[in-house]
Amino acid sequence: MLKVLWLQSGGCGGCTQSLLCAEPRPLFDELRDAGIEFVWHPALSVESGAEALQVFEACADGRQAFDVLCVEGAMLRGPNGSGKFHLMAGDGRPLTDWVERLAGRARWVFAIGSCTAYGGLSASTPGNPLEACGLQYDGDTPGGLLGAAFRSAGGLPVVNIAGCPTHPGWVVDTLEKLALDGLAASDIDEVGRPLLYADQLVHHGCARNEYYEFKASAEKHSDLGCLMENLGCKGTQAHADCNLRPWNGSGSCLKGGFACIACTEPGFESPGHAFQETPKLAGIPIGLPVDMPKAWFVALAALSKSATPKRVRDNAVADHAVVRPAVKKPGK
């Protein structure tokens, strides 16, 4: 069995709530059949108080075997590096101390969600008075609580299952890959995210891609058009498979009419502008697609807009399709 110890730190608990929505099979059936079990989880285990502390102590001193340390929520190092902003209930020691001890025992360490990976929303307050950071990153800078050089007993850096919240499938699939096939350095990207979901962009599979191709942009949030030009969408810059792996079996932010805010990326929480606004310079969005040179984007955008079909142009600024695709015999 692959034994998982899960702790929660500075955050909302949303990644656990997301995990409980795992599909298509019930979460515990899926994990059990893959040979995965929780040593302890704050929302799923019966032990609490002194009994939970006994579990932590046994894991920290080697009496209780476990394989994976999963941490959810940012590391709160304040005030002044003491970690006293977040003390373990019933124990009085900073949670950061517990994480460091347990990380030294774990074969693998997983950061569950962008707060634990990079600091996330907990680090977004001006001046970061909480001194919040990720396990191995402080924003997009390597370091964090455990330090840039940290490697677990299994030889890997922290595996950053980033997202706000993280998709349940990303957590389950990463645990299952580790349990059934193993994880290697080649399975994670440059900022520690599993490639099983971070080797593509949110843009891929977006239901609004036809509008993007013709640069037919929405003007308000209820419009059907592309949200990149005016309403802050960063789907062409965000590494995740959100539109190919539906949330709750059917949806995604973009399918629900909300712009992608790139929640899997380091520093997404402090873009320097409102999430649903697109900063521009000389009328050109500052945040261009990751692989697109600026000159190419400008040229292609101008060409695309000049070729936009009336159907696409009219539907882009409506809340439903007002012009249907033409009915004609396909060309041979």
The CATH number of the domain where 106 resides is what? Answer: 3.40.50.700
Residue 106 pLDDT > 80:
yes
Cis amide linkage into residue 293, ω under 30° from 0: no
Residue 238 counted as domain residue: yes
* Average pLDDT, integer, range 180-209: 96
Segment 102-121 shows an average pLDDT of: 98
pLDDT at 302: 81
Examine residue 330 and state whether it is found in any structural domain, yes or no. no
Look at the chain and report how many structural domains it folds into: 2
Is residue 332 included in any domain, yes or no? no
**Same domain (yes/no): 156, 68:** yes
153, 182, 198 - which closes a domain: 198
- Most confident of the ranges 101-110, 242-251, 267-276: 101-110
Tabulate helix, strand, coil % of the chain (nearest 5). Answer: 30, 15, 55
Is 20 within a domain?
yes
Residues 192 and 205 in one domain: no
List the beta bridge partners of residue 10: 74
Domain that holds residue 114: 2-198
206 shares a domain with 146? no
For position 309, which CATH number holds? 4.10.480.10
Residue 262 banded pLDDT, cuts 50, 70, 90? very high
Q: What is the pLDDT of residue 331?
A: 67
Same domain, 264 and 115: no
- Cα–Cα nearest to 278, from 224, 205, 218: 218
Domain assignment present for 7? yes
pLDDT tens for 39-72 read: 999 999 999 999 999 999 999 999 999 999 999 9
Average pLDDT over residues 230-241: 95
151 and 262 share a domain? Answer: no
Residue 99 lies in a domain: yes
Q: 1-15, 128-142, 186-200, 317-331: which has the minimum mean pLDDT?
A: 317-331
Query: What is the phi-psi region of residue 232: left when phi exceeds 0, alpha when psi lies from -120 to 50, beta otherwise?
Result: left
Whether 180 and 70 share a structural domain: yes
Supply the pLDDT for residue 189: 98
Domain boundary among 171, 198, 225: 198
**What is the model's pLDDT at position 177?**
98
Task: Tell me, yes or no, whether 230 and 250 share the same domain.
Answer: yes
The pLDDT value given to residue 84? 96
Q: Which residue has the higher pLDDT, 92 or 298?
A: 92
In which residue are the tokens 């249907």 written?
324
Per-residue pLDDT band at 315 (split at 50, 70, 90): very high
